[in-house]
Protein backbone atom coordinates (compact mmCIF):
# COMPACT_ATOMS: atom_id res chain seq x y z
CA UNK A 1 0.00 0.00 0.00
CA UNK A 2 1.39 3.35 -0.98
CA UNK A 3 1.02 5.84 1.84
CA UNK A 4 1.36 9.61 1.70
CA UNK A 5 2.66 10.80 5.06
CA UNK A 6 2.04 14.42 6.02
CA UNK A 7 4.05 16.12 8.77
CA UNK A 8 2.82 19.47 10.07
CA UNK A 9 4.99 20.04 13.16
CA UNK A 10 8.38 21.73 13.46
CA UNK A 11 11.16 19.15 13.79
CA UNK A 12 12.72 21.36 16.48
CA UNK A 13 9.68 21.27 18.73
CA UNK A 14 8.18 17.80 18.26
CA UNK A 15 9.40 14.32 17.36
CA UNK A 16 6.68 13.93 14.72
CA UNK A 17 9.13 13.87 11.81
CA UNK A 18 11.28 11.22 13.53
CA UNK A 19 8.24 9.01 14.13
CA UNK A 20 7.17 9.41 10.53
CA UNK A 21 10.59 8.70 9.05
CA UNK A 22 10.99 5.73 11.38
CA UNK A 23 7.75 4.03 10.37
CA UNK A 24 7.37 5.01 6.73
CA UNK A 25 8.31 2.26 4.28
CA UNK A 26 10.86 2.56 1.50
CA UNK A 27 9.22 3.99 -1.58
CA UNK A 28 6.68 5.95 0.45
CA UNK A 29 6.10 9.68 0.21
CA UNK A 30 6.42 12.38 2.84
CA UNK A 31 4.80 15.79 2.42
CA UNK A 32 5.94 18.57 4.75
CA UNK A 33 3.21 21.12 5.49
CA UNK A 34 2.55 24.00 7.94
CA UNK A 35 5.32 24.14 10.60
CA UNK A 36 6.67 20.89 9.16
CA UNK A 37 8.21 22.84 6.27
CA UNK A 38 11.12 23.98 8.45
CA UNK A 39 12.51 20.44 8.10
CA UNK A 40 12.97 21.03 4.36
CA UNK A 41 15.50 23.82 4.76
CA UNK A 42 19.24 23.61 4.17
CA UNK A 43 21.75 24.22 6.93
CA UNK A 44 19.56 23.21 9.88
CA UNK A 45 20.34 20.77 12.67
CA UNK A 46 18.04 18.20 11.01
CA UNK A 47 19.07 18.81 7.37
CA UNK A 48 21.46 15.86 7.25
CA UNK A 49 18.82 13.47 8.55
CA UNK A 50 16.24 14.75 6.07
CA UNK A 51 18.70 14.59 3.17
CA UNK A 52 19.48 10.99 4.18
CA UNK A 53 15.77 10.14 4.19
CA UNK A 54 15.59 11.15 0.54
CA UNK A 55 17.33 7.86 -0.28
CA UNK A 56 14.30 5.97 1.07
CA UNK A 57 11.37 8.29 0.36
CA UNK A 58 10.14 10.93 -2.00
CA UNK A 59 9.90 14.11 0.05
CA UNK A 60 7.68 17.06 -0.89
CA UNK A 61 7.12 20.45 0.73
CA UNK A 62 4.09 22.71 0.35
CA UNK A 63 5.10 25.97 -1.36
CA UNK A 64 2.44 28.26 0.14
CA UNK A 65 3.56 27.24 3.66
CA UNK A 66 7.19 28.00 2.76
CA UNK A 67 6.23 31.45 1.45
CA UNK A 68 4.07 32.26 4.46
CA UNK A 69 7.02 31.59 6.76
CA UNK A 70 9.58 33.49 4.69
CA UNK A 71 11.49 30.35 3.76
CA UNK A 72 13.00 30.70 0.26
CA UNK A 73 12.56 27.85 -2.23
CA UNK A 74 16.23 28.28 -3.17
CA UNK A 75 17.17 27.19 0.34
CA UNK A 76 15.16 23.97 0.25
CA UNK A 77 17.31 20.82 0.42
CA UNK A 78 18.09 19.52 -3.07
CA UNK A 79 15.87 16.58 -4.04
CA UNK A 80 12.86 17.80 -2.05
CA UNK A 81 10.12 18.80 -4.48
CA UNK A 82 8.08 21.95 -3.87
CA UNK A 83 4.37 21.47 -4.63
CA UNK A 84 1.36 23.79 -4.60
CA UNK A 85 -2.18 22.92 -3.42
CA UNK A 86 -2.92 21.19 -6.74
CA UNK A 87 0.20 19.11 -6.23
CA UNK A 88 -1.07 18.20 -2.75
CA UNK A 89 -4.34 16.98 -4.30
CA UNK A 90 -2.46 14.99 -6.96
CA UNK A 91 -0.29 13.34 -4.31
CA UNK A 92 -3.39 12.43 -2.31
CA UNK A 93 -5.01 10.91 -5.41
CA UNK A 94 -1.84 9.02 -6.35
CA UNK A 95 -1.56 7.24 -2.98
CA UNK A 96 -3.81 4.62 -1.42
CA UNK A 97 -4.18 6.60 1.78
CA UNK A 98 -2.91 9.60 3.70
CA UNK A 99 -1.33 9.28 7.13
CA UNK A 100 -1.40 12.67 8.83
CA UNK A 101 1.20 12.76 11.63
CA UNK A 102 -0.20 15.32 14.06
Partner 1 sequence: MAEPWEEDEAAGEIKKFMYMNRKAPYGTIYALESLEVVLIGAAFDQDVSLVFADDGVYEIVKNQSTDEIGMKNFSPTYRALEAYDVEKLYVLDTSLEERGLTEDDLLVDVEVVDAERLGELMEEQDVILSF
Longest distance between any two alpha carbons in the chain, whole Å = 35
Question: Could you give the CA distance from residue 79 to residue 58 in angstroms, rounded to a whole number?
Answer: 8
- 45 near partner 1 (CB under 8 A): yes
In sequence order, which ranges of 31-101 are alpha helices (DSSP H)?
A: 47-53, 63-68, 85-94
Q: Does 99 bind partner 1 (CB under 8 A)?
A: no
Pairing type for strands 58-62 and 81-83 reads parallel
The residue from 3, 51, 54, 71 that contacts partner 1 (CB under 8 A) is: 71
Note whether 89 binds partner 1 by CB under 8 A. no
Q: Which of 54, 64, 87, 98 binds partner 1 (CB under 8 A)?
A: 64
Least separation in angstroms between CB 86 and partner 1: 12
The answer to whether 51 contacts partner 1 (rule: CB under 8 A) is no
Amino acid sequence: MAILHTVNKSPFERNTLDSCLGMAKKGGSVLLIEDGIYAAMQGTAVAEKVAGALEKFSIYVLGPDLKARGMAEERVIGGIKVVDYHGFVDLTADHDCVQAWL
